[in-house]
Structure 1
Amino acid sequence: MNYEKVREFENIIEKDYPNTCQMVVMKDNNIVYENYGCNCNQKSKLHIFSVTKSIISVLIGIAIDKGYIKSVDQRIIDFFPHYKIAPDEKTLQNITLKDMLTMTAPYKFKEEPYVEYFKSPNHLKFCLDLLGGSYKIGDFRYTPLIGPDIFSGIIQTSTGQSVLDFARENLFNPLGIEVDKNIVFKSAEEQFAFNESTNLSGWVSDEFGLNTAGWGLTLSAVDMAKIGQLYLNGGVANCKKVVSTDWIKKSTTHHSSFNDLMYGYLWWIIDDNSFAALGDGGNTLYVDKSQNLVVSITALFVPNAKEKIKLIKQYVKPAFED
């Protein structure tokens, strides 16, 4: 570790990223650096926003490995045989799991109806009702909140477990990650407080117990780093196969694009050697295969927070080069 370069990026974070709460760097399977702010410590849990999507990607892969889901080519409607499709809705019938994983599924809205979504007691039906429409399948369209909950419905329907229970059994427990409970908001004030909390362990769900898939999970930076290390280790943790190497490869391969940004299966592809999970506020899980390096950062939400990939590539990685 180059201490001079470490001090350099610490000064940059303090100046330009003051909402940063936890930062953990793992190299060659070991934690080599930790830093904490915002009155946080190693065990503090924060809302990781859209990093949740990449955790869902891991769970989808595990469900496929275990045979609960046949393949990414299954149609979305096949998972919900009791959902009634409007007679004039043709697009929905052809949307596949892969289309959704790559953010190339169409929706019926131009702008996400956030208020209506948060007020809805049934997030799955709300999202299914908006899937499809007149837009084209195959065009990249990133949907932060409305749509990803369909993944939760798929996991729940396929496995017979809630997303949180399935995650505990097949991902969290094998990695030594604790997520305490479902969190259901009774008011907007409770949701705002959740976004600012640093000591609440759980996963947001709707009134029917469906955990959110695009946001809503709280983890520590150490928790996220364990997931990054799992992917570096080919899906093995504590001598146990957690997720297949095949899924890791497929989910972190370039499948779709938006301008110069590349996307896999709910993971952002940075370049040939690195990929990342990114969330609002600058929450980041960055994995570099060539350097066997994981950088995990949690942060409190602030509007228009600066993304941290440039910071990691220009200042953090050089501090831990061999």
Structure 2
Amino acid sequence: MNQEKVTALEIKINNDYSNIAGMVVFKDGKTLYENYFNECTASSRIHVYSVTKSIVSILFGIAVDKGYIKDINQKVLDFFPDYIVKRRENTIRDVTVKDLLIMTAPYKYKLAPYKKYFTSDDYVKFTLDLLGGRGQIGKFRYAPLIGPDILSGILVKTTGKSVFDFAMENLFSPLGISVKTNLVFHSKEEQLAFNKASNISGWVVDPSGVNTAGWGLTLTPMDMARIGQLYLAGGIWENNQIVSSKWIEESTKEHSRWEKLDLPYGYLWWIDENGYAAMGDGGNVIYVNTKKNIVVSIASFFKPGVTDRIEFIKQYIEPIFENCV
């Protein structure tokens, strides 16, 4: 590893990617780089925004492996038999779990009603009320916040456990990842403070106690790297099969595509020509290059309009570490 290039990389981070909190690089399962910025340390925990979605994808894979969920082609409403569908809203009846995982479910909103969402008592019910409508099932529509929570509701229904407890038992604890508690916001100010914090360990829940699926999880950069390494290793961690290689293979290949940006999508993972990535607002990313056996995790504080982190990784990080042994 060329120390001069590493020094140049860190100068670039401080100058051009100044919201980065920490970064970890694995090559062949070994830690080649770990460093922290903005007064953060190895114990700092950052809100990773939509990286949360990819964690939920893993939990769905585990639930499928364990037989809690029989088939992701099941209709969403099969899991909510008591939900009452309004007249003339039959589109919702045909939406499948897979449609939620690959972002091909339609919703009855043009501009996301975030204020109503954040102030609702039940994010799952709120989202079910917006599912369907006149949109076409099968057409990609990325749902940043309002949409994925239905998946949390399905996990709760099928496993009989909270998403937090299921994740702790089957994913976090086996990987040595510490997520301390469920988080409840009592005000807008608390949520805004959470987005800027580096010392809060937890996963947001709505007032009914269901964990968010599209945002709301805090992780360290090393936690994120471990998630990436788990997938790179075919779901095996310390000789234990955490999630099946079959699920990983299926979830990290293209099932849909955001045509506007020409971005292929798997099961809540973005697909790349060299592998795949979990990405969240502000430049949070777990990047897995399956061809070079590299995992890069970057935790970042929120900042609007950040520069593309995947291009940053390919241009400035991989050339430094790809030939290291």
Asked if these proteins are the same fold (TM beyond 0.5), I'd say yes
Q: Which residue of 2 aligns with 1:157?
A: 157
Q: Secondary structure at the match of 2:285?
A: strand
1:224-266: per-residue Cα shift (whole Å, max 9, x none)? 1000000011101111110000000000001111131110000
Please identify, of 6-15 and 211-220, the stretch whose mean Cα deviation from structure 2 is larger. 6-15
Q: Is the 8 A contact 1:3 1:319 kept in 2?
A: no
Displacement after TM superposition at 1:6 (Å): 2.0
Displacement after TM superposition at 1:9 (Å): 2.2
Displacement after TM superposition at 1:11 (Å): 2.0
Please identify, of 87-96 and 158-167, the stretch whose mean Cα deviation from structure 2 is larger. 87-96
Q: TM-score normalized by structure 2?
A: 0.97
Matches within 5 A, 1:137-216: 137-216=137-216
| Alpha-carbon distance in structure 2 between the residues aligned to 1:321 and 1:194 | 35
Displacement after TM superposition at 1:70 (Å): 0.7
Q: Which residue of 1 aligns with 2:284?
A: 283
Percentage identity across paired residues of the two chains = 56
Displacement after TM superposition at 1:39 (Å): 1.1
Q: Which residue of 2 aligns with 1:296?
A: 297
Q: How many residues align?
A: 321
1:159-202: per-residue Cα shift (whole Å, max 9, x none)? 00000000000000100001011101000000000001101000
1:35-89: per-residue Cα shift (whole Å, max 9, x none)? 1011111111110000000000000000000000011101100011111111311
Q: Which residue of 2 aligns with 1:117?
A: 117
| Alpha-carbon distance in structure 1 between the residues aligned to 2:5 and 2:54 | 30
Q: Is the 8 A contact 1:5 1:318 kept in 2?
A: no
1:109-134: per-residue Cα shift (whole Å, max 9, x none)? 01110010001011010000000000
Displacement after TM superposition at 1:4 (Å): 3.0
Uncovered stretches (5+) of structure 1, i.e. residues with no partner: none
| Alpha-carbon distance in structure 1 between the residues aligned to 2:138 and 2:111 | 18
Task: Supply the AA of the counterpart residue of 1:276.
Answer: A
Q: Which residue of 1 aligns with 2:263?
A: 261
Q: Secondary structure at the match of 2:307?
A: coil
Q: Which residue of 1 aligns with 2:40?
A: 40
CA RMSD of aligned residues (A): 0.8
Q: Secondary structure at the match of 1:130?
A: coil
Q: Which residue of 2 aligns with 1:305?
A: 306
Task: Supply the AA of the counterpart residue of 1:67.
Answer: G
Q: Secondary structure at the match of 2:105?
A: coil
Q: Is the 8 A contact 2:27 2:322 kept in 1?
A: no
Displacement after TM superposition at 1:278 (Å): 0.5
Uncovered stretches (5+) of structure 2, i.e. residues with no partner: none
Q: TM-score normalized by structure 1?
A: 0.98
| Alpha-carbon distance in structure 1 between the residues aligned to 2:50 and 2:81 | 28
Q: Is the 8 A contact 1:120 1:126 kept in 2?
A: yes
